A and B are shown apart, each in its own frame.
Chain A
Amino acid sequence: MLTGYQPGTGLLYRLNPLVKGFSALVLILFFSLNRFGAMQMSGALAGVLLIALISRLPVVDIILSIKRIAFLLLIVALVQGFRGNGFEWLFAAEGIVRILGVFLVAGFYLATSPQAELMHFWEVVFRPLKFFRLPARELALVMVIAVRFLPVMLSEIDRIRMAQIARGAKIGTGGWLSSAASLMPLMIPTISQALIRAEELAEAMEARGYRVSAERTRYHQFGFALQDVFAAVGAAGVFIATVLSFF
């Protein structure tokens, strides 16, 4: 099942993260907006799958993970299918291919990008925010820390839940809309632990010389090679094609 980064060495892994990120964005835009028909889009989808295969991604696993959006695909097929007068299979197919395209492109992007690359991409995307006095690198660091602590917080919530249930709290029973009071034994300890963690982390960071908005060097380095040129050209082509499809 496709859940995130899978280490590998194929083509997609060797792309510069900015090129990869922006190419993925362009492809997602393509699948969402283009005015080509189901045939052309299926061709594009096949192309995407081919690149993934060449990059030695676990394509079979990824395709199996489509199960997760099966319900969504069904809804889309129905909505799109009834777009004109009565039900048209071609419209339904078009809808399905679009969703699949977005899902698979996003999936392949996440599967080939370790944390460091994702954060670098986000940092560059945040840079325009400097005009609004928002610090790009710091925001990216906030995201890095959030992701790094996610497994820790999840297991902590689990432990709190088990301990409170053993104490007699009724968490998780009582249906989908549990009252706020019954979630207190879970929420308050989780939040107070998170606050303690944040304070200790901030102190530890300061103790290691971190000063907000100071000039910091970078450990990670991303190269730019021939495959990036091809990818950039390809992405530009897709972008132009998307625009042209409107005429």
Chain B
Amino acid sequence: MTSFLQFNNLSLAFSGKKIIAGLSGRFISGKLNLVVGRAGSGKSSLLLAIAGFHKECQGEILDDQGRFTAAGNISLAFQNPESLFFNPTVGDEIEFALRMRALPENEITDRSRDWLAKWGLPPEVYYSKHPLELSGGEKRRVALAACSVFLPRVIMLDEPLAGLDFKGQRSLADMLAVIASDHVVIVVTHEPEIFLTDDTNILLLSEANGTWFSGSEFLRRSLEHEDFYPLPAWYRQAVGPFIKHAALPAVNASSVADFLQKVR
């Protein structure tokens, strides 16, 4: 069952000034949804509007059951979500959200352990550790898991990879793609390269307008116009000549090498 989040003519303003005007479209589960744009384009404001925190908001936000209500249905993680830690163990941190929902005790622990495992951190090892003992990548996963343990339909992340090292970014990006199969995962990022596959659903915000792209369309447009999005020079050089191809490769060496093999 695909769940979705739909916008009908959504407009957001900040102190009277319009940031987003008349946005319509959908974020869906099954694909990773990205919100891309330069600083100040309204990306974070959109997340706040979905979460119900943005006051100057007009238009409709719907889901597969009608009008969307944020309470209990969203998880919101800003940059550096590990700054939200306040418990002595990883287990306590994950369980907090379920505890606040007054679930039965044994259910809390079981669900928390399962969810932590799903984020790639075996509970046997991590459950009783102090959150600040962990590495950067591990802390990030614990923080994201803690924000979403109650399995909300919509999981929103603002720059989830910021500050991680290369390996950490790669594995977290893969993890998010897996989680996206059962939830509507929305990632705000000014650097979509690592997430881009043919299958990604991208909303580009620019000058109060929103345009929707698939992964390949986004890559194609970036190759056509350098100002649209600055793809790395090596990708431009290698893939540029094959811009007309239907399915452009992801922005990493192995995908590009395979692609070049196929087209030659």
Interface residues of A (CB under 8 A from B): 159-160, 162-164, 166-170, 184-185, 187-189, 192-193
Contact = CB atoms under 8 A, between A and B. Distances in A.
A164 B146 CA distance: 10
B84 A189 contact: yes
B100 A168 contact: yes
A3 B78 CA distance: 30
Interface string B73-91: 0111110010111100000
Query: Would you call the interface of chain B mostly helix, strand, loop, or mixed?
Result: mixed
Contacts of B100: 167-170
B96 A166 contact: no
B150 interface: yes
Contact of B86 (A159, A170, A188): A188
A189 B48 contact: no
Contacts, number: 51
Contacts of B97: 167-168
Nearest to A160: B84
B3 to A, nearest CB: 18
Contacts of B228: none
B187 to A, nearest CB: 16
A161 to B, nearest CB: 10
B29 to A, nearest CB: 19
A168 B76 contact: no
A164 to B, nearest CB: 6
A168 B83 contact: no
Contacts of B28: none
B14 interface: no
Contacts of B85: 188-189, 192
A163 B76 contact: yes
A27 to B, nearest CB: 35
Nearest to A161: B53
